[in-house]
Amino acid sequence: MTPTAKVMQKYLSAWNLNPAAKPDAPLFVNHQGNRLTRPGVTYILKKYMSEMGADENTITPHIMRHSKAMHLLRADVDLNYIRDFLGHVNTSTTEVYAKADSEMKRKALEKAHFDVPLENQTTWQKNENLMSWLQSL
């Protein structure tokens, strides 16, 4: 079991959560036991960013969402699955996340790469008749 899985198992046990029994129940809850809201997540992120002495606006729920979408996209996960994961109705909404970044562009260019022969391509320069004609111009 990975360290993350162990932490998750401890969290589930501490909060007496059983996702298999209640698949629609919130996994992360606030101090009242209710589903975390976006402002609640923002508060938690700002709190811990501030404690670290970092800019509180460095990480937001939207940035985390965008990062996850980009990680899935870079892992070649189909855009339809990413759409479903993010809860979008239309793929066109998800395509906003699919704007190619420099790493994706580099990989696309590598896929389209073809070998260029290393030998000199200017065989026309070795054609004496052609060279004479060009010089006469």
Q: What is the pLDDT of residue 10?
A: 92
What is the predicted pLDDT for the residue at 84?
A: 94
List, for residues 28-74, the tens digit of each pLDDT value: 888 888 889 989 999 999 999 999 988 888 888 888 888 888 889 88
| 37, part of any domain | no
Say if 76 falls within a structural domain. yes
Over range 90-106, report the average pLDDT.
Answer: 78
Residue 23 resides in a domain: no
Q: Is residue 95 part of a domain?
A: yes
User: Does some domain include residue 11?
Assistant: no
The answer to whether residue 124 sits within a structural domain is no
46 part of a folded domain:
no
Q: Residue 86's domain spans which residues?
A: 57-108
Please give the Cα distance from 31 to 15 (Å, whole number): 11
Structural domain count, the chain: 1
